Amino acid sequence: MKLFSSNFSIYTLLSLLAYAPTSSFAAPFFRRSGIQDNQPFSVMTLRSGNLYVHFHSLYVGESGSVYLDPYDHVNKSSVFTVSNGHLIHENDFAHLGDSGALVFTSKDEGSAEGFSFGEEIAGGYLLNYKGQGFVACPVKEDSPVYSVYYGQGNGDSNCVGFGSLAGPFSSSSSSASTAPTSAASSNAKVQDVVPTGSSYEKNSGNGPAPIFPNGIRLTNTSSPDSNSGNVYSPVAYQKENDHVNTIFTFDVPQVSDQKCQLHFHIDKNGFPIQVDGSNGVGEFVFYNLSSAANDGTTWANTPNRIAEVGRFNCSSNGCDYTTNITCPGSYKTVSYELSAITDKSYLEYFEEINPLEGLQLTV
């Protein structure tokens, strides 16, 4: 089954980001002292290298099983807490079921004990059970929907280990139930999970498939000669003379018609976002660049900006923006720079595939 016609680009992204050494992650920008007992957090899956597993949220289905897609009558990503080593979701406790399947039930008795936070990554912490990560296995053979296990998984040859990046879920996000939710049905397919009520609905139908960035790099006035390496979390801010910008790099496939767009969408369905600005609204701009960024790109040697190609406002609820651009050439590698344009404008989020969060190109 094909998710998008641009699988190649997705895999490029995954292979770049899934195996990036920890040292190349962006330094966490907002400081945290760890996730406390009873503090709500959401989870994003990392490092699997598998399209159906990497960069997904966790969804606790009606049955209590845990999925990496909207499934089993649940279409909203889940929020968890850890209390005395137990993992809790809406007053239900995590148990280990058949083959170590993670299952939530209302029974406290016999629930799994030993959940804790490990390595700090990019502003979050890896959630472990007895010091180990988790395994995702397809719910049935060849299914694009995976569920979560501890240990070896259910024996399917497609089972794959992953890291569970836990990030604090700010209390202001507790209104997330009113935010747009992902489309889903009880037999959700991956194509169904793009957010509804946004421009993606149109695109997921008969529009062109989105191309994901294969490189995300930060430039920083405070460290003008250093390169961030590839990061998961784009950042753009302006604070007096301090700027951090993000450069997104895309491998362009064959450009068949002359309608090309950049799509930027973030909401509260995925890993927590941070957006601020005057009156809570940040103002941002995209530029196209004269050449593509690479591992030598720094603030000091950023390729020249050719032109502004889009401008949008964003708040802590997220934003959804599409701009028509001059089509890049077929099979070219191109970069676009995201920058804040007013003082105090601040934006940070995680580029995710499911739910769809961040910047994509369509050609």
User: What are the residues binding ligand NAG (CB under 6 A)?
Assistant: 26-27, 29, 75, 181, 183-184, 196, 218, 220, 222-223, 235, 244, 259, 281, 283, 288, 306-307, 309, 311-313, 324, 326, 328
- Closest by Cα among 43, 73, 197 to 134: 43
Provide the token pair at 147.
């569920």
**Contact indicator for 73, 186 with CB cutoff of 8 Å:** yes
Least distance (Å) between residue 154 CB and ligand NAG: 27
- Compute the CA torsion angle 39, 165, 68, 70 (nearest 10 deg): 50
- Closest by Cα among 51, 77, 46, 355 to 230: 46
Other C-beta atoms within 10 Å of 238: how many? 22
Nearest residue (CB) to ligand NAG, 48 versus 198:
198
3-class secondary-structure state, position 117: strand
Nearest residue (CB) to ligand NAG, 15 versus 187:
187
Least distance (Å) between residue 47 CB and ligand NAG: 21
Nearest residue (CB) to ligand NAG, 157 versus 178:
178
Distance CA 183, CA 180 (A): 9
Nearest residue (CB) to ligand NAG, 107 versus 311:
311
Least distance (Å) between residue 276 CB and ligand NAG: 13
Provide the token pair at 152.
């070896």
Least distance (Å) between residue 244 CB and ligand NAG: 4
Least distance (Å) between residue 259 CB and ligand NAG: 4
Distance CA 104, CA 93 (A): 5
Nearest residue (CB) to ligand NAG, 56 versus 217:
217
